[in-house]
Amino acid sequence: MTEKFDLILPIGQACSCSQSLRTAGLQFASFPWDWIATRDIRNCIETDCSCGKDFMRKEDLVRLEPRGEHPMDFYRNTRLDICHNHDFPRGVPLDEAFPAVAAKYERRFARQDRLIRGARKPVLLLRIDSPVVSRTDSPIIGPTSLDECRYARRRMAESFQGKVFETCLFSLDRDRPFEDRIEEEVEPGFLHVAFDYSDKTPGAAESSVNQKEIAEILRRHFSVRDYRTHEEKKAFAAKVRAKKYAKAGVSTALGYRLYKLKAQLLKLLGRR
């Protein structure tokens, strides 16, 4: 049986949390911690409670060594102990890239704060530990504890008076297959799941997770309303439409319909 939430927020440890929510069809907009690697959940929560106040400060950012052919520059925020892996285009000076990144996060914190304050049903805080927790050169070191998730829930409830928060934590256990996973409510409103959800696909990145298995569990327990505004839904539809047009090599609705008709005719002729 699924529990309906007004909002499900990804709170790290890395991008695999938001990606798994999107795969499960449970996230419809971008939030602050979608693409950031985080070490201490408390830093995330305190920043959420302040609506991102002083989140982006240029003096806190230190550029890390490039990694292979990754298209982005990596920056570590030494004050918050987080890592921006997907925000700063590679080779673009920080002074030039910073304003757009800062504006993006200002929008995301504002959206998150607005949705939390407007929630009438519980808000779920989801944390998925990254498979790279054992790497000493990663900003993510060590698994998230149950007590850290309890802190997150309690602190958010204190900051957003009258709102109800629940938590879900996925812990990586490399000795436990999906079929033998732990999936238990450790206390009311706190689901803990543990198994080896690292992505075993040949060539997969070290940080990748098995989104299909995680999404299966998420869908079984949770559902969420579509919290997007009418304008956001229109913008998303336009974005999807633009991608379809680009793939078909057309620029108008009529051109796309003709493209689809041609494809159907070729398929039909190929059957004869």
Q: Determine which of 160-164, 255-259, 268-272 has the lowest per-residue pLDDT on average.
A: 268-272
Mean pLDDT of 197-225: 94
Question: Model confidence over 115-152: pLDDT tens digits?
Answer: 999 999 999 999 999 998 655 555 556 789 999 999 99
Between the two ends of the chain, the Cα-to-Cα distance in Å is 49
pTM of the model: 0.87
Q: Where are the domains of the chain?
A: 3-226, 231-271
Query: Which whole number is the average pLDDT over 90-110?
Result: 97
